[in-house]
Amino acid sequence: MTDKAPFRSDLTGSFSTPSGNNPTVAMIEAGYRDAGMKARFINCDVKPEALGDAVRGARAMGWVGFNCSLPHKVAVLEHLDELAESAAIIGAVNCVQIRDGKLIGNNTDGKGFLTSLRSVSDPKGKRIVLFGAGGAARAIAVELGLAGAAEITVVNRDEGKARTVAGLVSEHTGAEGKAVGWSGKAKVPEGTDIVINATSIGLGDAEALPEIDLETLRPGQIVADVIMNPPMTHLLREAKGRGCTVLDGLGMLVNQGIVGVELWFGRTLDAGVMQETLKGIFKVS
Ligand code: NDP
């Protein structure tokens, strides 16, 4: 088929601030190049007061879609026409499709995690302990609930936030959500299938360790971390040493990108190419 617009690219990108250290652009553009797509991903620094103009600009210029990162994940809702199911439950959007001028909000944070998890196990019927109750934890909890998890226990320093996330799970998904306050060394209950660190502990610090009683981890359990840099966190090293199956945050980030591009173009980029690009950036062997 001949290209009817050989000198025009399909535009996508990201709106956030600060934006200069977000490596998503490098990962996605490597995927586009590898797939031979005539698409671009533009990393834009958008201040809170300019978000509406940026969204209208993307629609006016015929962008295919865009990501929203901090601080726009909630503020963008008022500019959208529709919300996907999980984004409506989570109450935050990080990926927008523009279809026939309509703006549809999605949340790919939890979906990226889920895709990564499914490479080792199906969450259906599983008992899960989730540390953290911020934006990443909320998205992960809702997606795991919608994917058929049996029970999700949310453990957080601020117990009120844990209750909010557990409440969303119980109210909107088939899973049972439980909330636990986190003080001192948290024990992982017997019978837990999957343990997830969705706090920011470990970001940029390979020695930082969430206060978890490591003796309560069991061989064969899945232990996942959302931290993408460094990917092999202290928690994952300890879990691996105890015979657990470990999942790093790099997989979640790559799969978020893949899910976003599938929403925009209906095409699946090569995870290996994107992973290698990030490893090069994070200097991981
Ligand atoms: P938030 O700020 O919304 O939430 C941070 C969470 O970490 C809260 O639950 C907070 O607890 C907890 N926390 C922070 N410090 C401590 C501590 N010292 N002890 C116990 N709990 C602590 O951040 P996000 O949810 O947006 O992001 C969390 C992490 O996930 C970040 O590091 C981010 O980089 C990463 N992430 C990774 C992605 C990926 O693709 N791999 C995607 C999205 C995020 P409290 O509520 O009590 O303050």
Indicate left, alpha or beta for 25 from its phi (over 0: left) and psi (-120 to 50: alpha): alpha
- Ligand 1 contact via 57 beta carbon (within 6 Å): no
pLDDT digit string, tens, across residues 204-221 = 999 999 999 999 999 999
The best mutation among 129, 140, 200 to test binding of ligand 1, ranked by most ligand atoms within 8 Å of the C-beta, falls on: 200
Q: Report how far residue 132's alpha carbon sits from residue 119's, in angstroms, rounded to the nearest whole number.
A: 23
pTM of the model: 0.95
- Ligand 1 contact via 222 beta carbon (within 6 Å): no
- Whether residue 1 is predicted with pLDDT greater than 60 in this model: the reply is no
- Ligand 1 contact via 83 beta carbon (within 6 Å): no
Question: How far apart, in Å, do the first and last CA atoms of the chain sit?
Answer: 41
Domain 10-107+251-282 has CATH 3.40.50.10860: yes
Query: Could you list the active site residues?
Result: 73
% of the chain residues with pLDDT over 70? 100
pLDDT digit string, tens, across residues 132-188 = 999 999 999 999 999 999 999 999 999 999 999 999 999 999 999 999 999 999 999
* Residue 251 alpha carbon, nearest atom of ligand 1: 41
Segment holding 252, helix H or strand E:
helix 249-265
pLDDT of res. 283: 86
One CATH from 1.10.940.10, 3.40.50.300, 1.10.490.10, 3.40.50.720 for 111-247: 3.40.50.720
Strand partners, 172: none
Q: pLDDT band at residue 285, thresholds of 50, 70 and 90?
A: confident
Report the separation in Å between the CA atom of 154 and the middle of ligand 1, taken as the mean of its atom positions. 13
* Residue 112 alpha carbon, nearest atom of ligand 1: 40
The domain locations on the chain are 10-107+251-282, 111-247
Mean pLDDT of the chain: 96
pLDDT of res. 20: 95
Helix (H, G, I), strand (E, B) or coil at 41: strand
- Ligand 1 contact via 156 beta carbon (within 6 Å): yes
Give the Cβ contact number of residue 245 at 10 Å: 15
pLDDT digit string, tens, across residues 70-121 = 999 999 999 999 999 999 999 999 999 999 999 999 999 999 999 999 999 9
**Contacting residues for 230 by C-beta, under 8 A, at least 6 apart:** 202, 204, 206, 282, 284
pLDDT of res. 3: 81
